Chains A and B, each alone.
Chain A
Amino acid sequence: MVLKALTANHAVAEAAKLARVKVVSAYPITPQTTIVEKLAEMIEKGEMEAKMVRVESEHSALAATLGAAAAGARAFTATSSHGLLYMHEVLWWTSGARVPVVMAVVTRAIGPPWNIHVEHSDVMDQRDTGWIIGVAQENQEAFDLTLQAFRISEDPRVYLPMIVSLDAFILSHTVAPVDVPSQQEVDAWLPSRRQPYVISPETNVVMGNIADDADYYMMRYSINAAMEAAKKVVEEVDEEYGKAFGRRYGGLVECYNCDDADYIMVLMGSWAGDAKKASDLLREKGYRVGVMRVRFVRPWPREVVQEKLSNRKGVIVFDRSISFGSAGQLFTDVAASLYGSTSIRGVVAGLGGVDVRPEDFMNEVTDFVSHVEEFGRVYEPLRWHLPPKYAKSLAEEVSA
Chain B
Amino acid sequence: MPLRLADLPRRRYGSPGNAACPGCPETMGLRYVKMALGDNVVLVIPAGCSSVIQGIRPKSGINFPILNIVFASAASAASGMSSAFEMLGQDVKVVVWAGDGGTADIGFQALSGAAERNDDIIYICVDNEAYMNTGIQRSGLTPYGAWTTTTWTGKTEPKKPLPFIVLAHNVPYVATATVGYPQDFIEKLRKAATIRGFKYIHLHAPCPVGWRFDPSLTAKIAQLAVQTGAFILFEYENGRFRLSPYSGMYRDPKRRVPLEEYLKLQGRFQTVLKDPQKLEMLRAEIDEMWRWALLLEKGMASPELKK
Contact = CB atoms under 8 A, between A and B. Distances in A.
Contacts of A203: 65
A68 B80 contact: yes
A62 B54 CA distance: 24
Given A67-B76, A200-B65, A209 B84 contact: no
A72 B57 CA distance: 22
B66 interface: yes
B84 A71 contact: yes
B110 interface: yes
Contacts of A55: 76, 79, 110, 113
Given A55-B79, A68-B84, A201 B39 contact: yes
B92 interface: yes
Given A51-B86, A93-B69, A206-B68, A67 B80 contact: yes
Nearest to A89: B70
A199 B44 CA distance: 10
B174 interface: no
B56 A22 contact: no
B57 A211 contact: yes
B60 A56 contact: no
A66 B75 CA distance: 12
Interface string B76-105: 111111111111101010000000000000
A204 interface: yes
A201 B92 contact: yes
A239 to B, nearest CB: 32
Given A55-B113, A56-B112, A57-B109, A67 B66 contact: no
A127 interface: no
A70 B41 CA distance: 14
Contacts of A23: 80, 83-84, 87
A64 B79 contact: yes
B235 interface: no
Interface residues on B, range: 35 or more
B110 A210 contact: no
Nearest to B38: A201
A81 interface: no
Given A68-B84, A69-B84, A75-B84, A63 B76 contact: yes
Contacts of B57: 206, 209-212, 215
B113 A57 contact: yes
B67 interface: yes
Contacts of A212: 56-57
Nearest to B19: A210
Given A53-B83, A60-B109, A71 B76 contact: no
B235 to A, nearest CB: 26
B52 interface: yes
A25 B113 CA distance: 13
Given A209-B51, A209-B57, A64 B80 contact: yes
B42 A63 contact: no
Nearest to A203: B65
A66 B81 CA distance: 8
B119 interface: yes
Contacts of B293: none
B117 A63 contact: no
Nearest to B69: A63
A232 interface: no
A209 B83 contact: no
Interface in A64-106: 64-73, 75, 89-90, 93
B63 to A, nearest CB: 8
Interface residues on A, range: 35 or more
A25 B119 CA distance: 13
B40 interface: yes
B23 interface: no
A59 interface: yes
A205 B65 contact: yes
Contacts of A65: 80
Interface string A87-130: 00110010000000000000000000000000000000000000
B80 A71 contact: yes
A383 B113 CA distance: 46
Contacts of A199: 42, 65-67, 81
Given A63-B70, A67-B78, A210 B65 contact: no
A207 B67 contact: yes
Contacts of B267: none
Interface string A322-342: 000000000000000000000
A208 interface: yes
A207 B73 CA distance: 16
- Of B67, B69, B90, B92, most buried by chain A (CB within 10 Å of CB) is B67
B72 interface: yes
B92 A200 contact: yes
Nearest to B53: A209
A25 B302 CA distance: 32
Given A23-B80, A206-B65, A59 B113 contact: no
A50 interface: yes
A61 interface: yes
Given A55-B76, A65-B80, A69-B84, A210 B51 contact: yes
Contact of B79 (A67, A90, A209, A211): A67
- Of A25, A57, A71, most buried by chain B (CB within 10 Å of CB) is A71
Contacts of A53: 76, 79-80, 83, 117, 119
A54 interface: yes
A143 B304 CA distance: 46
Given A60-B79, A201-B39, 12 more contacts: A53-B117, A55-B76, A57-B110, A61-B76, A64-B73, A64-B76, A64-B80, A67-B77, A71-B81, A72-B88, A201-B41, A206-B57
24 contacts: A23-B87, A25-B76, A51-B86, A53-B117, A53-B119, A55-B79, A67-B69, A67-B81, A67-B84, A68-B83, A71-B92, A72-B88, A89-B70, A90-B73, A93-B70, A199-B81, A204-B63, A205-B65, A206-B57, A206-B68, A207-B67, A208-B67, A209-B51, A211-B57
Interface of A: 22-23, 25, 49-51, 53-57, 59-73, 75, 89-90, 93, 199-201, 203-212, 215
The 5 closest A-B pairs by CB, nearest first: A67-B80, A208-B68, A64-B80, A56-B113, A63-B73
